[in-house]
Amino acid sequence: MDQKSQSIRLATFRSVMGKECLDIFLNLNCGTEELTINSAHKALEDYFLPKKNVVYERYVFNSCFQAPEESIDCYANRLRKLASSCQFGALTEEMICYRLVIGIQDKSTKARLLREKDLSLDKALGICKSREITNKQLKSIQNEEKQNNEELNLVQDKSRRAKGNKKLNEKKPPSNQKKPPIKPGPGKT
């Protein structure tokens, strides 16, 4: 790119940034001789974007646990987002995998993951998703069985009541016979 087009791009950049931003830009001491659009953009980015405290970002990452009703996919996505600011580099997938094992709610799945040899993030997610689906299916089956048992108990209760009412009706004396009046004892009127 020739110098003239670079200076036109820089002038356009300065004109669209607004008065407040231009004041900040002019006070950044970027050096006007070798100023390019890229160096101007980098200078403003360094000024406006907050510096990240990697220690704190890693603390937040390592404090992340799965919420009680959170799916494994949501938890893994949350871990990926947190890991993006931790500067793990080539260890990112491995760190997410370890945090996933430590932070999941289901203890039986955690135990299963801890028994795995050569555990990768993909393998861990596969196991967790499988367990999650299985647990949902088992819960659905248990709810159906519970509902069926409640319906069966209701029918049995109605049947028992009907039998009990039948027995009571059989033991009652006929209503047309009068019972003898009870006479008061001596000294009572």
Higher-pLDDT residue of 64, 148: 64
Q: What is the pLDDT of residue 1?
A: 44
**Could you tell me which CATH number the domain at 54-133 has?**
1.10.1200.30
Q: What average pLDDT does this structure show over 143-161? A: 78
Domain boundaries, the chain: 3-48, 54-133
pLDDT confidence bin for 130, thresholds 50/70/90? very high
Q: Which residues contact 166 (CB under 8 A, 6 or more apart)?
A: none
| Cα–Cα distance, 125 to 171 (Å, whole number) | 68
Q: What average pLDDT does this structure show over 80-107? A: 95
pLDDT greater than 80 at residue 102:
yes
Min mean pLDDT across 80-84, 86-90, 150-154 is at: 150-154
